[in-house]
Amino acid sequence: MGVTGSRRRDGEERGWLRGAPPPRWVRGLPVLLLAGVCVAELVSHQPLDIGFLLGAIPSLAVLSYGPLATAAFGCVVIVLLNLPALHLNHPGNTDLLTISFVAALSVFVSLVRSRRDAHLVTVRTVAEAAQLAVLPPLPERIGPVRCAGLYRAAQRGTLVGGDFFEVRAGPCGVRAVMGDVQGHGLSAVGTVASLLGAFREAVLDERNLEAAARRLERRLVVDSSATEHAELFATALLIEFSGDASTVRIVSCGHPPPLLMRDGQVVELEIEPGAPIGLGLFDVSPPKERTVPLRHGDRLFLASDGVTEGRNRSGDFYPLPERLVKFADAEPAALTDRVWEDLVRFCTTVRDDVTMLVLTPQPETVP
């Protein structure tokens, strides 16, 4: 996803103790220890009682090598212990027997680890494929709109949480949605998938954003009707660009309003919010559409409450509009990265899903 419009936290952020492949220095430890022991014995004028150190070599090999390579290290260690020139097998056969047992045990552990790792890789691959099917990578451009997004799920090891966004082209223009489902983590993924499916249908079927919002409302009400006291709801922001990207229509269902970046300034658009989706309150507090004219160079910055409600040690909220002014000259993809890095520095801990979406109207022919 490096050059595409969206990036999510995935395997490259895992350390080697969390399932990522071990670094090169870990793979080199057995060889370095083996060479170090042999060189020390050959250089020393008197025999050194350091043969016991060779017992660590098969154990270190388990961390990064398979059973065959681990067995090879064990065989090399046993051979070196029996070389008279090295004087490693002192004070007697105890070292040889102990290290032989450790080498055999290391081969068994390596076999178990290799099979477990293969199983985990399969499970993770299937899980990532399922999550990416729910929220696929965002294209860099859709019609007259350039897109850049960033997604950081709060639950470690997942690609999708309780936030969602999508940008689609339809008969009425390019439409985008950003939302936040109650809760976060894998428990909210099913609701996210349901709402995204309803939005994708609304892009093709509904003629205006109010009707599209009602489609999402109906979907969530139906999903929660089978569960008593489900209290399932979501906030959402729906956006529709005109065919020439000269205007944008916006509807808010309890979601933070978008920020308009224009001429180095950042302005929060005033949108009258309707009721959140899923509460059945659209008849009482329906969402109202607002149309905003756009100029060349304008950008819309959408963020979830994981950004706007981030706090520092003093309890102050993250000042998103003020920080965006400092990054106004950055490219869209770099803009989301810089805001994320700044948010991490500002907050003590990021506990909620963080989602950002930058939409830049840019028709093919710009006057």
Q: What is the pLDDT of residue 186?
A: 59
Give the pLDDT mean for 61-71. Answer: 87
pTM, whole model, 2 decimals?
Answer: 0.70
Task: Give the whole-number percent of the chain exceeding pLDDT 90.
Answer: 25
Euclidean distance between CA atoms 214 and 8, whole angstroms:
29
Euclidean distance between CA atoms 215 and 194, whole angstroms:
11
Euclidean distance between CA atoms 37 and 349, whole angstroms:
45
Q: Do 327 and 339 touch, CB atoms closer than 8 A?
A: yes
Length of the chain: 367
pLDDT over 70 (residue 61): yes
Kindly report, residue by residue over 250-278, the tens digit of the pLDDT.
999 999 899 999 988 999 999 888 899 88
Residue 361's nearest CA partner among 164, 173, 213, 206 is 173
Q: CA 229: distance to chain centroid?
A: 32
Q: What is the pLDDT of residue 252?
A: 93
Name residue 302's beta-bridge partners: 357
Q: Which residue's entry shows tokens 């790792």?
A: 117
Could you tell me the pLDDT band of residue 184, with boundaries at 50, 70 and 90?
low
Strands 6-8 and 145-152, sheet pairing: parallel
Cis amide bond preceding 91, omega within 30 = yes
Q: Residue 262 belongs to what H/E stretch?
A: strand 259-262
Q: Residue 361 belongs to what H/E stretch?
A: strand 354-361
Euclidean distance between CA atoms 192 and 117, whole angstroms:
30
> What 8-state DSSP symbol labels residue 312?
-
Higher pLDDT, 117 or 356: 356
Q: Do 89 and 79 touch, CB atoms closer than 8 A?
A: no
Q: Residue 130 belongs to what H/E stretch?
A: helix 93-134
Kindly report, residue by residue over 220-230, the tens digit of the pLDDT.
888 777 665 45
Euclidean distance between CA atoms 155 and 126, whole angstroms:
18
Q: What is the pLDDT of residue 74?
A: 87
Q: Do 180 and 234 touch, CB atoms closer than 8 A?
A: yes
Higher pLDDT, 59 or 358: 358
Please give the mean pLDDT across all residues of the chain.
82
